[in-house]
């Protein structure tokens, strides 16, 4: 029997994992996020299933290794919250779900773009109060505009196709360009200068953390629209706030935020957010900002794929097969 500890559990997670778990696997669900201070609950478990906001730093990994954990199965594509070097040192296998539904994320980015440009969030609130005025709701055509796409992996490529369907000109930046992609690659600096809208579809690395900062925003077109469905720390939140206040940035659609841990995926409707979340509070209050709580992945198809792939990663490890989705230290 493979004993699995599942952290940061939501109702939709349990539904799909219960559907695909086998008789040889026993999952214990924990609503709390995995951190160093609660790592002792991993005693007796073989595998930990973790998500993007679980804190798998060196201290946590050391603690769960002492508890006997031999594998961290991420139910996400990103792994920037895991100290891969320490996991390797402790002989803990780390695996991920490299792709669950790139369509889900690309389509959500499109939804954020359309809502931002056509001010749909304001229309929704107004009409619920029987206010049918169109004042202040003027948007602009996407057709003929230039979309800058950062990252041309699976999600980025699908988003490119969507943008072309709207009749947009598309340019892209990626440190590892694809030779066969029907798209013009430019430097990130050139992308900032030329794009009416910019959408991010890349993993977070040491090199691209805070790639949207005071300097890069200065190089952008006046009124640029920013869409981020990748990782929050690609965008320096204080610089984004400054850019919005100066009206250099015309609008922002954010599904991720650099300090989202402990907030996103949780109900904070009755809480008063502390000073550490002041920037997020100010961003949400802005009329030209739309924030969704890391829900771009959240479709039936994606949840099914996540559960299936995560459990298959575990089975490959338990049965001594190659773990094809393993994440290894460089």
The reply to whether 86 and 107 lie within a common domain is no
pLDDT of residue 149: 98
CA distance 203 to 99: 12
Residue 255 within a domain? yes
pLDDT of residue 77: 86
260 noted as active-site residue: yes
294 noted as active-site residue: yes
Number of domains in the chain: 2
CA distance 36 to 56: 8
The reply to whether 54 and 182 lie within a common domain is no
CA distance 283 to 245: 10
Distance between terminal CA atoms of the chain?
A: 32
The reply to whether 140 and 74 lie within a common domain is no
H or E element in which residue 285 lies: helix 278-285
3-state secondary structure of 280: helix
Question: Pick the catalytic residue: 33, 96, 108, 294?
Answer: 294
Taking CA 26 as the corner, what is the angle to CA 20 and CA 28, rounded to the nearest 5 degrees? Answer: 100
Could you say which residues of the chain have pLDDT below 70?
330
Residue 329 within a domain? no
CA distance 278 to 105: 27
Residue 156 within a domain? yes
The reply to whether 109 and 95 lie within a common domain is no
The reply to whether 115 and 95 lie within a common domain is no
231 noted as active-site residue: yes
CA distance 330 to 312: 24
The reply to whether 32 and 84 lie within a common domain is yes
What CATH number does residue 310 fall under?
3.40.50.720
The reply to whether 252 and 312 lie within a common domain is no
Residue 268 within a domain? yes
Residue 92's domain spans which residues? 2-100+300-318
Residue 128 within a domain? yes
User: Would you say 309 and 100 are in contact if contact means Cβ atoms under 8 Å apart?
Assistant: yes
> Which residues fall within 8 angstroms of residue 159, CB to CB, at 6 or more apart?
106, 109, 110, 149, 199, 201
The reply to whether 226 and 130 lie within a common domain is yes
Question: Pick the catalytic residue: 190, 231, 300, 301?
Answer: 231
Overall residue count recorded for the chain in this entry: 330
Question: Pick the catalytic residue: 126, 260, 276, 278?
Answer: 260
The reply to whether 70 and 183 lie within a common domain is no
Q: What pTM did the predictor assign?
A: 0.88
pLDDT of residue 52: 86
pLDDT of residue 274: 75
pLDDT of residue 207: 93
């Amino acid at each position: 029997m493979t004993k699995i500890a599942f952290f940061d559990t939501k109702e939709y997670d349990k539904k799909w994992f219960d559907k695909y778990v086998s008789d040889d696997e026993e999952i214990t669900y924990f609503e709390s996020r995995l951190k160093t201070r609660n790592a002792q609950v991993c005693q007796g478990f073989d595998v930990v299933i973790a998500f993007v906001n679980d804190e798998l730093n060196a201290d946590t990994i050391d603690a769960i290794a002492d508890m006997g954990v031999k594998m961290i199965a991420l139910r996400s594509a990103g792994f920037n919250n895991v100290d891969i070097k320490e996991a390797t040192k402790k002989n803990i296998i780390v695996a991920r779900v490299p792709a669950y539904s790139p369509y889900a994320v690309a389509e959500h980015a499109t939804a954020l773009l359309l809502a931002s440009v056509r001010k749909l969030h304001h229309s929704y609130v107004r009409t619920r109060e029987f206010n049918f005025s169109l004042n202040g709701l003027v948007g602009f055509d996407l057709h003929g505009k230039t979309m800058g796409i950062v990252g041309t992996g699976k999600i980025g490529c699908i988003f490119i196709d969507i943008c072309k369907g709207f009749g947009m000109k598309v340019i892209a930046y990626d440190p590892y360009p694809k030779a066969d992609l029907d798209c013009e690659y430019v430097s990130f600096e050139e992308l900032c200068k030329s794009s009416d809208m910019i959408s991010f579809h890349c993993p977070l690395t040491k090199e691209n953390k805070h790639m949207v900062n005071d300097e890069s925003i200065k190089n952008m077109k006046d009124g640029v629209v920013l869409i981020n469905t990748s990782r929050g720390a690609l965008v320096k939140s204080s610089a984004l706030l400054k850019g919005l206040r100066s009206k250099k940035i015309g609008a922002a659609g954010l599904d991720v935020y650099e300090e989202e841990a402990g907030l996103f995926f949780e109900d904070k409707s009755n809480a008063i957010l502390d000073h550490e979340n002041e920037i997020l509070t100010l961003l949400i209050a802005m009329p030209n900002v739309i924030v969704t709580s890391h829900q771009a992945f959240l479709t039936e198809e994606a949840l099914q794929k996540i559960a299936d792939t995560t459990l298959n990663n575990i089975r490959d490890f338990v049965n001594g097969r190659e773990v094809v989705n393993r994440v290894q230290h460089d």
